[in-house]
Structure 1
Amino acid sequence: MTKRALQDELIYEILAVVEEIPEGSVATYGQIARLIGREKNARLVGKALSMSEYYGEYPCHRVVNHAGRLAPGWPEQRFLLEEEGVAMKDERHVDLKKCRWDC
């Protein structure tokens, strides 16, 4: 298998998990990394999500960092989450206690 095929396979594995996050809930990059068996690869998850537009439509707006912080430079993320009823702690953070995906 080529390196590109391995990369695509990993990205689709990550996106398959993201696709399962229910509306109104969020998951963290680390949570997704654990679910795919790569506990220490939260940054890899973030990188894969940054390329998701090339792989189809996925609810990547439902993924935040470990503190609930929204992705920098993506103002639409807050709007999309608020439309789904996700509780915010402040301008840049979701309330993980109220809306973390319990998977």
Structure 2
Amino acid sequence: MAQLQDKSMHCIMVVEDCFAIGGKGLAVVGNQLVQAMPLESSVVELRRPGRQTLSTMVVDSGIFSSPMDGSKTRSFSILLPANLQVDDVPLGSEIWQSQAMS
């Protein structure tokens, strides 16, 4: 994305899949780009391809697979609030978090 980079924020994942879980929220799945996962109630910023940013919070997160090849990326999911829709988080969106939170 062609944006000025905020030095206080870093990208923690790129969305590879997204689906609604009825009554729970919106699950986004991608590769973990940093060691620390966002904690419940952490504020994150969605940077959507070709569109505006959106601030939201993490409802829950978890690792669902670890790499077998020794790489530093792991697949994990973040559960976002139920008021978000799949169309709000297109594939390729980036999830950014404050450096202080990681």
Structure 1 length-normalised TM: 0.29
Say which structure, 1 or 2, has more relative contact order (CA 8 Å, 6+ apart). Answer: 2
**Structure with the larger helix share:** 1
Structure 2 length-normalised TM: 0.29
**Structure with the larger strand share:** 2
